[in-house]
């Protein structure tokens, strides 16, 4: 399905979420009317991608700044000379990949990020797709009783499982390659966010928990939290809440981290993949 607006074309990727936007060159300055249409498509579809974009790091950052200030990742490597541009790569000989599990970006921050713009610099001939899921739909599919119970809970988020001293293999490998050791005890810092959040722009409610960074429910032990967390992880990853994005070189994809999760598939062993990410700062969740 193609939705034609005044300045852009929006083509749906799947029923749950996701769209391709055509008719725009992100390397050129965007007038306010075109930006407003892109912003509307972003809020409506949660994930939007732009094909065949030829961007310098500065142009990538300029587009990101139209949505807000840019984040500098506290642990992951950055492009030389561009601290706001995070590099995500897997070499031919690597077995682990970065982002290989369902997660929302950087929910361990006191102000979780608004969204991320990922730009494909080097892609394998096959594989390396990214899955996305709609956390609005996951919340709306819950029973009234479950919604009422979750509405009173807060979850404890921490970077420790991914970036702490016992962090993931991919995160540790990136640290070794860049010679920027950042995995340390500071990743054990904990913050709490509501399990059900209200999107600040759309006013819609969505689930806001993820396997990568949630440690437990606030006021609960880890053991007490695990059964409900496992049930929620199984619920929100149901196929009907997902879409799958196929990458091509020079594709830029922008997702709303406030109401989605994503999963980088690791099915291209023997090939290289390099992506550049710009992330937009968010706000405190209440």
Average pLDDT along the chain, 286 residues, taken 10 residues at a time:
73 98 96 97 98 98 98 93 96 93 96 98 97 98 98 96 66 49 67 98 98 97 98 98 98 98 97 98 93
* List 256, 258, 277, 281, catalytic entry: 277
Give the pLDDT confidence score for residue 163 in this predicted structure.
85
Read out DSSP for 224-239? Answer: HHHHHHHHHHHHHT-G
286 belongs to a structural domain:
no
Comparing CA positions, the residue from 40, 9, 42 lying closest to residue 24 is: 9
pTM greater than 0.85 (yes/no) = yes
Q: Which of 73, 82, 105, 281 is catalytic?
A: 105
**27 located within any domain:** yes
- At residue 176, the pLDDT reads 46
pLDDT of the residue at 183: 47
Is 138 within a domain? Answer: yes
In a domain, 134, yes or no: yes
Which position among 82, 262, 273, 276 bears the catalytic label? Answer: 262
CATH number at residue 55: 3.60.130.10
Residue 155's DSSP bridge partners are 193, 217
- pLDDT score of 1: 56
Buried b (16+ CB within 10 A) or exposed e, 61-99: bbbbeebeebbebebbbbbeebebbbbbbbeeebeebbb
Centroid of chain to Cα 282? 12
Please report the pLDDT score of residue 180 as a whole number.
46
| pLDDT (0 to 100) of residue 113 | 98
Structurally, the chain folds into a number of domains equal to 1
Strands of 214-217's sheet, edge to edge?
Answer: 190-194, 154-158, 214-217
What are the residues facing 255 on neighbouring strands?
47, 116
> CA 35 → CA 8, 28, 113, 207, 242, distances in Å?
10, 12, 20, 28, 26
The CA R_g of the chain, rounded to the nearest whole Å, is 18
**Known active-site residue 54:** no
Q: Which of 60, 73, 82, 103 is catalytic?
A: 103
Is 285 a domain residue?
Answer: no
Active site residue 262: yes
Q: Which residues contact 283 (CB under 8 A, 6 or more apart)?
A: 111, 114, 200
105 an active-site residue?
yes
Residues spanned by the domain of 160: 2-280
Active site residue 277: yes
- By DSSP bridging, strand 47-50 and strand 19-22 are parallel
Q: What is residue 19's predicted lDDT score, i.e. its pLDDT?
A: 98
């Amino acid at each position: 399905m193609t939705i034609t607006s005044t300045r852009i074309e929006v083509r749906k990727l799947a029923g749950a979420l996701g769209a391709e936007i055509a008719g725009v060159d992100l390397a050129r300055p965007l007038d306010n009317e075109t930006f407003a249409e892109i912003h509307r498509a972003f809020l409506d579809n949660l994930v939007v991608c732009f094909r065949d974009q030829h961007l310098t790091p500065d142009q990538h950052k300029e587009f990101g700044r139209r949505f807000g200030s840019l984040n500098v990742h506290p642990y992951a490597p950055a492009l030389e000379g561009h601290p706001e541009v995070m590099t995500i790569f897997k070499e031919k000989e690597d077995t682990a990949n970065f982002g290989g599990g369902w997660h929302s970006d950087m929910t361990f921050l006191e102000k979780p990020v608004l969204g991320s713009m990922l730009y494909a610099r080097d892609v394998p001939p096959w594989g390396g797709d990214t899955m996305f899921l709609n956390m609005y739909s996951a919340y709306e599919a819950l029973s009234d009783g479950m919604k009422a119970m979750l509405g009173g809970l807060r979850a404890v988020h921490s970077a420790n499982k991914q970036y702490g001293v016992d962090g993931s293999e991919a995160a540790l490998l990136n640290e070794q390659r860049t010679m920027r050791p950042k995995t340390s005890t500071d990743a054990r810092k904990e913050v709490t966010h509501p399990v059900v959040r209200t999107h600040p722009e759309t006013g819609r409610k969505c689930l806001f928990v993820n396997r990568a960074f949630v440690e437990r429910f606030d006021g609960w032990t880890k053991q007490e939290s695990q059964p409900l967390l496992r049930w929620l992880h199984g619920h929100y990853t149901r196929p009907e809440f997902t879409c799958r994005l196929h990458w091509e070189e020079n594709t830029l994809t922008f997702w709303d981290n406030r109401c989605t999760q994503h999963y980088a598939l690791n099915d291209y062993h023997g090939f290289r993949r390099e992506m550049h990410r710009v992330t937009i700062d968010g706000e405190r969740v209440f």
